[in-house]
Copies of this chain bind each other. A is one copy, B any other.
Amino acid sequence: MFICLKVLCVVTMRNEEHSYKNVEENTTMNNHNMEEVVEERDPEHNPLNEPLLIKRNRTLSGNPLALVGSKVSYIESLDYEINENDLFKQDWRSRSRTQVLQYIFLKWLLAFFVGFLTGIIATLMNLSIENIAGYKLLAVVEYIQNERYLTGFVFFMGINLVLTFIAAILCVCFAPTAAGPGIPEIKAYLNGIDTPNMFGANVLFVKIIGSIGAVSAGLDLGKEGPLVHIGSCIASILGQGGPDNYRIKWRWLRYFNNDRDRRDLITSGASSGVCAAFRAPVGGVLFALEEVATWWRSALLWRTFFSTAVVVVVLRAFIELCHEGKCGLFGAGGLIMFDVSNVSVSYNVMDIIPVVIIGVIGGVLGSLYNYLLHKVLRLYNLINQKGKMYKLMLSLAVSLFTSVCQYGLPFLGNCTPCDPSLPESVCPTNGRSGNYKQFNCPKGHYNDLATLLLTTNDDAVKNIFSTNTPLEYQPTSIIIFFILYCILGLITFGIAVPSGLFLPIILMGSGYGRLLGIIMGPHTNIDHGLLAVLGAASLMAGSMRMTVSLCVIFLELTNNLLLLPITMIVLLIAKTVGDSFNPSIYEIILHLKGLPFMDANPEPWMRNLTVGDLVDVKPPVVTLSGVEKVSNIVDALKNTTHNGFPVMDDRVVPPTGVASEATELHGLLLRAHLIQVLKKKWFLKERRRTEEWEVREKFTWMELAEREGNIEEVAVTKHEMEMFVDLHPLTNTTPFTVLESMSVAKAVILFRQVGLRHMLVVPKYQVTGVSPVIGILTRQDLLAHNILSVFPHLAKPKGREKKN
């Protein structure tokens, strides 16, 4: 009752706002079916403890900026379980040896193309960004050298605003889901949550162009997150044979029209994206494994590895091509992005103390960043939900602020004379890349703040990672750099452009590391550039909480294997420290978006609750007969939002001595399949079972795989209402079941490990006349905060021993 009221209140609040198509209100556990609904039931139990805001943000959108307002729709779970019905088995049996080989071949071919296209798109993006940003900066340097400072500023700011505008307008108008990194949604997809409009062709297009615009505009964001999303989009589009409206209905591709194969492809795509972003093939695979994927098989490990190998070969080919100077300002640099292999790493065991300090402070800073970013995102939500204009304005304001700082702050820096041992071509530089920028300084001098600020983000990282240059940067410059990028890192991520989190954190962290290097200078002989690398690593671990994959990515970024032991220690410490404060940034975003993500570990209190208890507070399950009247099916579909219906048979007498009528569970039927049946009007005049040949002729597995269709679109005449449908051939005869006495903790493990959408609860006793299914549990029923909203007494903060 209490919950009922709360929902009503939310509904009222909502109606003051606009456009809530498709939002389902059947949310509460005790009087509605909880299945496949987006909302978070009891905000007070949200670990982030934001009662007011979360209540407003109870609808889902793919956009972190517009949790309410933009594109509201409800999410579905994915069918990762193999639907073993007669049609599937028949289809599977009819596959010839050749078709099986075709399927395997195609799988590898698709993995190849995922890598190939991701590699090509990543290179083209790099090419565009380096050229746009390069020519922009060259022009600015020209103005400055001629002392036309104001014109230079107007030019710099104007270009940045235009580029930001392009990125933002595309995101706002064409693909709101393209804003942000996209990694949380991919993580959710691989967990079994289908966020709508995430992997379409329009998203891909907006993501590519938007990312080029945003990064060229010098905003404090990276192309790494977007590249992961781009890789996944490519994988998804390839797997379904093209963009939504222009799909190739190729016979070979039909086997890929299922959620399982799509999941595998998207995993490959995500790995390829990371690989293309950091030129880190092993790191990419591990990133997908550690951070993104929920399920993992060694066959997938292998195919993913293949995709990233292809990416590396493509990148390498382009690098060779560009070495000859055909790519404009793009060209310098090989496969290693931030090479620090030239430094001799001479540390001894006592250097473990500064390393520990870096790790601890990095962990604190990382979790602080998570905390503050969460606050900022909530504030941005308030602004963004006011309308598209506000979103645009916010983006442009951030761009303006960034331009002012990047252009203005270097004037505060002092001019330092170049080290005479350096050749003139190295110090000072005036071109696009390179250390020791001259900026407004006289000949033979350089401005260290300009070196760090008035450059592309990639180059800024390169410059601050530069080794054997302990005196290049003055402490004040590093402090200004660090503070500026802390502020930019917080305010930039939430705006309506494609944005990655990696680079902002690396920039912040490298500033922090270098600063620490200056402070600890006399006490350690670790190079300042290396300390910058370690600082970046520690902040990444403190915020994103990855270990092995980050370690390998840093290894591949910096090409210095001797750094490995200390990197490992920094990462472990920073993650431990960060974990004691708050969850990882991706988890925070998942929560903000209200995605029903299933964690790997059940809560300890779940052992004290049985699935029977959960079923008791749910409405009774709606079942269908093996041969069912059309009108009953239409009723079931119209009156419930269930996505799965148990199919019962009365006819079977069990093979015991006792000859009695028994109810038998035949299996589980999906809503999508029922709608297909109604659409195809596969009706029978009398109540009978269909023959096998009838099944073969009327339906194919391929048609069933289509998930489109809504019960409202189906027109059934009154005459047809009285007819029958034989549901047996369509029913998945092997659903996973649990006894009612099963603990919720184990049910959660089963649900997640096997990748279920529906879990049937069966009675633990044997009595004639009782239904063999007493309930169905779905993802929403098993989420901790949903359960706690109904059983609040369970939430004793007792410890987390089962969590590790």
Contact = CB atoms under 8 A, between A and B. Distances in A.
Contact of A765 (B607, B662, B753): B662
20 contacts: A97-B799, A104-B800, A104-B804, A282-B548, A286-B286, A290-B301, A296-B296, A299-B804, A305-B548, A308-B568, A313-B565, A317-B349, A341-B561, A559-B561, A561-B561, A652-B765, A654-B767, A662-B767, A749-B754, A763-B766
Interface stretch (A129-137, A228-236, A478-486, A737-745): A737-745
Given A299-B804, A547-B302, A770-B654, A565 B281 contact: yes
Interface of A: 82, 84, 89, 92, 95, 97, 100-101, 103-104, 107, 281-282, 285-286, 289-290, 296-299, 301-303, 305-306, 308-309, 312-313, 316-317, 320, 334-336, 341, 348-349, 352, 547-548, 551-552, 555-556, 559, 561-562, 564-565, 568-569, 572, 575, 600-601, 604, 607-608, 610, 652, 654, 656, 658, 660, 662-665, 667, 733-739, 741-743, 745-746, 749-750, 753-754, 762-772, 798-801, 803-804
A767 B317 contact: no
A749 B308 CA distance: 28
B765 A654 contact: yes
Contacts of A317: 349
Contact of A547 (B97, B301, B341, B608): B301
Contacts of A767: 654, 656, 658, 660, 662, 766, 768
Given A607-B84, A754-B753, A763 B575 contact: no
A94 to B, nearest CB: 11
Contacts of A734: 610, 739, 741-743, 746
Contacts of A305: 547-548, 551, 568, 572
A800 B750 contact: no
Contacts of A750: 736, 750, 754
Contacts of A665: 739, 741, 764-765
Given A285-B548, A607-B89, A568 B766 contact: no
Contacts of A547: 301-302, 305
A728 to B, nearest CB: 12
Contacts of A662: 765-767
Nearest to A317: B349
A410 B683 CA distance: 85
Given A282-B548, A607-B92, A556 B561 contact: yes
A798 B97 contact: yes
Oligomer copy total:
2
Nearest to A559: B561
B766 A663 contact: yes
A334 B746 CA distance: 48
Cβ-closest 4 pairs across A and B: A100-B799, A662-B765, A309-B568, A664-B765
B737 A733 contact: no
A104 B335 CA distance: 41
A701 to B, nearest CB: 14
B282 A290 contact: no
B765 A663 contact: yes
Nearest to A800: B100
Contacts of A97: 798-799
A223 B470 CA distance: 43
Nearest to A565: B312
A547 B296 CA distance: 15
A551 B298 CA distance: 15
B569 A313 contact: yes
A167 to B, nearest CB: 32
A103 B306 CA distance: 41
Contacts of A738: 736-737
A682 to B, nearest CB: 24
A104 B766 contact: no
Given A739-B762, A765-B772, A770-B766, A313 B282 contact: no
Given A95-B801, A658-B767, 8 more contacts: A297-B600, A305-B547, A312-B568, A341-B341, A559-B562, A561-B561, A736-B742, A737-B739
B749 A309 contact: no
A799 to B, nearest CB: 4
Nearest to A667: B741
Contacts of A297: 600-601
Contacts of A667: 741
Contacts of A764: 664-665, 772
A769 B663 CA distance: 14
A735 B750 CA distance: 12
B299 A290 contact: no
Contacts of A84: 607, 743, 745-746
A334 B667 CA distance: 62
Which of A733, A764, A799 gathers most chain B CB within 10 Å? Answer: A764
A281 B562 contact: no
A567 to B, nearest CB: 9
A352 B737 contact: no
A195 to B, nearest CB: 22
Nearest to A107: B804
B281 A564 contact: yes
B608 A282 contact: no
A465 to B, nearest CB: 16
A551 B763 contact: no
Contacts of A749: 754
B741 A736 contact: no
Which of A561, A658, A766 gathers most chain B CB within 10 Å? Answer: A766
A764 B762 CA distance: 9
Contacts of A561: 335-336, 341, 555-556, 559, 561
Nearest to A82: B746
A260 B600 CA distance: 16
A689 to B, nearest CB: 17
A325 to B, nearest CB: 17
